[in-house]
Amino acid sequence: MPDVSAYLMKENAEQKAYIENTLKDPYNAYCVDCKEEPSTHFNVGFGIWICTNCAKLHVQETSERVKPAYGEIWDLHTLKVAHYGGNQQWHDYLEEYKSSNKVKPSWRYKNGNSKWYKRNLQMRAYGVAFSETKPPKNFKETMNASAQILDKVSNKTDAFFR
């Protein structure tokens, strides 16, 4: 294999300034996972800012593309994910599902709620409409959702047996 690292393209001044500015946001400034270390990397799947140590875990646990904040060019899609995403949105979403602290990082990025968040963010960044229903937040919502499905099924069977 040739030394592909030699092909790396440095970011331009505008991109650097944009990321510097994005990292001035108090939520983005610190790692969304450990909340202790300053952000140095970006998880392109979930649109979140993380520290160097957590970045290594993210590569292993989420298999998402993880980019350093500085030193290389970002493509348009990644810039859009950064624009629509961010640590506060992800944090608020986890709060909604009450899974911000209870759930281990390895599971936090793999469960159904997280997958919905990621797909929604990615579709927004691609400019594609996303119509998948948001996952239920709690037991009550889960029961309501299944009751609605059962309702539809029983309506169908009623019509069938009429």
Contact set with Zn ion (CB under 5 A): 31, 33-34, 37, 51, 54
Alpha helices (H) along 32-111: 52-62, 76-84, 87-96, 105-108
Residue closer to Zn ion by CB (options 31, 94) is 31
Residue closer to Zn ion by CB (options 40, 120) is 40
Provide, rounded to whole angstroms, the least separation between the CB of residue 108 and Zn ion.
13
DSSP state of 127: T
Is the distance from CB of 72 to CB of 8 less than 8 angstroms? yes
Provide, rounded to whole angstroms, the least separation between the CB of residue 64 and Zn ion.
15
Residue closer to Zn ion by CB (options 54, 82) is 54
Residue closer to Zn ion by CB (options 33, 80) is 33
Provide, rounded to whole angstroms, the least separation between the CB of residue 156 and Zn ion.
50
Q: E strand or H helix at 153, and its extent?
A: helix 139-161
Provide, rounded to whole angstroms, the least separation between the CB of residue 54 and Zn ion.
3
Q: 99 burial class (0-12, 13-18, 19+ CB within 10 angstroms)?
A: middle
